[in-house]
């Protein structure tokens, strides 16, 4: 894969994930107990054998850049790198005006590397994908551009995703960004093919189309302008993500993809990890999700007093290093590192981030509690939504979110 340059779009502001994005970019949001969102796309590329990666950053990038510099050091001796690239305003005094403009403002990276192919992938979705299979499809189809797509119900696709129309050979013949009435897949009523925001370009093609787009008054966005235009002039194909298979120890597993653009979808993607047979499996050592390791001690469960139910218990949950369940009970939840659940507390269907302390007799349900928060004894969250709305941000489906450093 030495003739391939990968560019990860990681500059998203993530306004719909507020307050989780109050102090960090969306790709830097913690996920799954010990990861950041960006770790998943980077793991996909490293596991697929792509080692030349540029991460384009913009909004509130300090946390993301720190994470990349500490956790993602490859071998410069072998010309392998994961390089954060902050917005530099190389072609003017504007921030990135769209996803396409982000790449256009960094065309020097393509000129310097001189690759044959350029991957342009989203850095703010959660997915597991063998990118080699999409590249093989791109080369076999003799495509100029390939767009990763996945079937979604029409109701879910409307006003949310770019919708693709294809011919019998999966060449794209139509593309609409967030249409009110998505076109359905022939023979599959009620379903539409949606873009995952992941693209493979022939290098000469991406340079050509971005330089041409820069001269026009457009939104300078891949979904809104580039793909709808390029299907008229080039061979653009859709890669069916449902055919993607991930290596496994005994048998392959299907790829996984979820857009975590909202609090509800972020919460649900985390809950996908805790089932007995998880939709998204973190325990496939043939396809590791790589992460920065900490020096925290192992998790501990305290058996304090059986008579009074002071037994540290966690069921259907992920509990990270350094956490202490000191007589409390945790069910269907994710605990990041150095969390403390004190005696008689109950935590259910929740995401508890690093360094949070849950006091005695607390009852927490359907909540996301960001780093360093301290919850005083007897606090109740998630049981009386109308009361919670007076104090916290509550999503449309009733997920209560406490911002970083909340003190109750």
pLDDT the model gives residue 9: 95
pLDDT the model gives residue 304: 72
Question: What mean pLDDT do residues 237-251 have?
Answer: 91
pLDDT the model gives residue 308: 63
pLDDT the model gives residue 278: 87
pLDDT in tens, 359-408: 999 999 999 999 999 999 999 999 999 999 999 999 999 999 999 999 99
State how far the alpha carbon of 375 is from the alpha carbons of 35, 202, 203, 338, 355, in Å.
23, 52, 52, 14, 11
pLDDT the model gives residue 399: 98
Question: What mean pLDDT do residues 104-110 have?
Answer: 95
**Higher-confidence residue: 249 or 320?**
320
Identical fold, 4-271 and 300-402: no
pLDDT the model gives residue 306: 66
Q: What does the angle CA 155 – CA 159 – CA 163 come to, to the nearest 5 degrees? A: 80
Cβ atoms < 10 Å from Cβ of 29: 22
Q: In angstroms, how far is CA 181 from the centroid of its own chain?
A: 26
Helix H, strand E, coil C: the string for 195-224 is EEEEEEEEHHHHHHHHHHHHCCCCCCCHHH
The sheet that has 346-348: what strands, in order across it?
313-315, 329-331, 346-348, 363-365, 380-381
Report residue 97's pLDDT band, with 50, 70 and 90 as the boundaries: confident
- Looking at residue 319, the DSSP 8-state letter turns out to be E
pLDDT the model gives residue 5: 98
Report residue 309's pLDDT band, with 50, 70 and 90 as the boundaries: low
Residue 270 to residue 282: CA distance in whole angstroms: 11
pLDDT the model gives residue 77: 84
pLDDT in tens, 53-96: 999 998 889 999 999 999 999 988 888 999 999 888 777 777 78
**Residue 56 three-state SS:** strand
Handedness of CA 202, 102, 290, 65 (dihedral sign): positive
Query: What share of the chain has pLDDT > 90, as a percent?
Result: 78
Q: What does the angle CA 82 – CA 83 – CA 86 come to, to the nearest 5 degrees? A: 145
pLDDT the model gives residue 104: 95
- Looking at residue 225, the DSSP 8-state letter turns out to be I
pLDDT in tens, 256-306: 999 898 999 999 999 999 988 888 889 999 999 988 777 889 999 998 776
Would you say residue 192 has pLDDT above 80?
yes
CB environment 221-238: b (16+ within 10 A), e (fewer): bbbbbbbbbbbeeebbbb
pLDDT the model gives residue 295: 83
What radius of gyration, in Å, describes the C-alpha atoms of the chain? 22
Would you say residue 354 has pLDDT above 90?
yes
97 exposed, middle or buried (CB, 10 Å; 0-12, 13-18, 19+)? Answer: middle
Report residue 248's pLDDT band, with 50, 70 and 90 as the boundaries: confident
Longest CA span, the chain? 75
Residues 229 and 211: beta-carbon distance below 8 Å = no
Beta strand 117-122 with 191-202 is antiparallel
pLDDT the model gives residue 293: 78
Query: What share of the chain has pLDDT > 70, as a percent?
Result: 99
In CATH, 300-402 is 2.30.40.10? no
Residue ranges of E strands in 134-178: 145-153, 162-166, 172-177
pLDDT the model gives residue 279: 84
Residues 255 and 11: beta-carbon distance below 8 Å = no
Tokens of 148: 């990763």
pLDDT the model gives residue 81: 95
pLDDT the model gives residue 277: 85
Indicate the CATH number for domain 4-271. Answer: 3.90.550.10
pLDDT in tens, 125-175: 999 999 999 999 999 999 999 999 999 999 999 988 999 999 989 999 999
Residue ranges of E strands in 241-339: 245-246, 253-254, 256-259, 300-305, 310-311, 313-315, 318-319, 324-326, 329-331, 334-335
Residue 306 to residue 117: CA distance in whole angstroms: 62
Closest CA to 141 of 123, 166, 107, 121: 166
State how far the alpha carbon of 259 is from the alpha carbons of 123, 152, 393, in Å.
11, 12, 21
Instruction: Report phi then psi at 99, rounded to 5.
Output: -65, -40
Would you say residue 344 has pLDDT above 80?
yes
Residue 120 to residue 15: CA distance in whole angstroms: 22
The residues spanned by each domain of the chain are 4-271, 300-402
């Amino acid at each position: 894969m030495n003739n391939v340059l990968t560019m990860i779009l990681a500059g998203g502001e993530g306004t719909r994930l507020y307050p989780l994005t109050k102090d960090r970019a969306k790709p830097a949001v913690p996920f799954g107990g010990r990861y950041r969102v960006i770790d998943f796309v980077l793991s996909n590329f490293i596991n697929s054998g792509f080692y030349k990666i540029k991460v384009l950053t913009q909004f509130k990038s300090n946390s993301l850049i720190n994470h990349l510099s500490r956790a993602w050091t490859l071998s410069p001796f072998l010309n392998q790198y994961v390089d954060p690239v902050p917005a530099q305003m190389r072609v003017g005094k504007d921030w990135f005006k769209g996803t396409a403009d982000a790449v256009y403002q960094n065309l020097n990276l393509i000129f310097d590397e001189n690759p044959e192919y350029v991957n342009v992938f989203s850095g703010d979705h959660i997915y597991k994908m063998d990118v080699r299979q999409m590249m093989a499809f791109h080369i076999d189809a003799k495509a100029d551009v390939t767009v990763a797509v996945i079937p979604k119900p029409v109701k879910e696709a409307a006003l949310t995703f770019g919708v693709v129309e294809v011919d019998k050979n999966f060449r794209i013949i139509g593309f609409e960004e967030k249409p009110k009435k998505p076109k359905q897949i022939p023979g599959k009523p009620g379903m539409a093919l949606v873009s995952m925001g992941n693209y493979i370009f022939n290098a000469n093609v991406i340079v050509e189309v971005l330089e041409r787009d820069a001269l026009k008054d457009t939104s300078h966005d891949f979904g809104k302008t580039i793909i709808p235009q390029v299907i008229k002039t080039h061979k653009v194909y859709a890669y069916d993500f449902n055919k993607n298979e991930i290596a496994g120890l005994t048998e392959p597993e299907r790829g996984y993809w979820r857009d975590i653009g909202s609090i509800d979808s972020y919460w649900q993607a985390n809950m996908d990890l805790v089932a007995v047979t998880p939709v998204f499996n973190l325990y496939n050592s043939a396809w590791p999700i790589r992460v920065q390791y900490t020096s925290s001690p192992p998790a501990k469960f305290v058996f304090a007093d059986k008579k009074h139910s002071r037994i540290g218990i966690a069921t259907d949950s992920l509990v990270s290093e350094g956490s202490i369940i000191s007589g409390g009970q945790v069910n269907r939840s994710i605990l990041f590192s150095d969390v403390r659940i004190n005696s008689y507390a109950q935590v259910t269907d929740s995401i508890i981030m690093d360094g949070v302390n849950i006091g005695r007799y607390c009852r927490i349900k359907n909540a996301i509690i960001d780093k360093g928060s301290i919850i005083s004894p007897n606090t109740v969250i998630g049981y009386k939504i109308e009361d919670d709305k007076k104090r916290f941000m509550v999503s449309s489906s009733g997920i209560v979110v406490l911002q970083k450093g909340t003190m109750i």
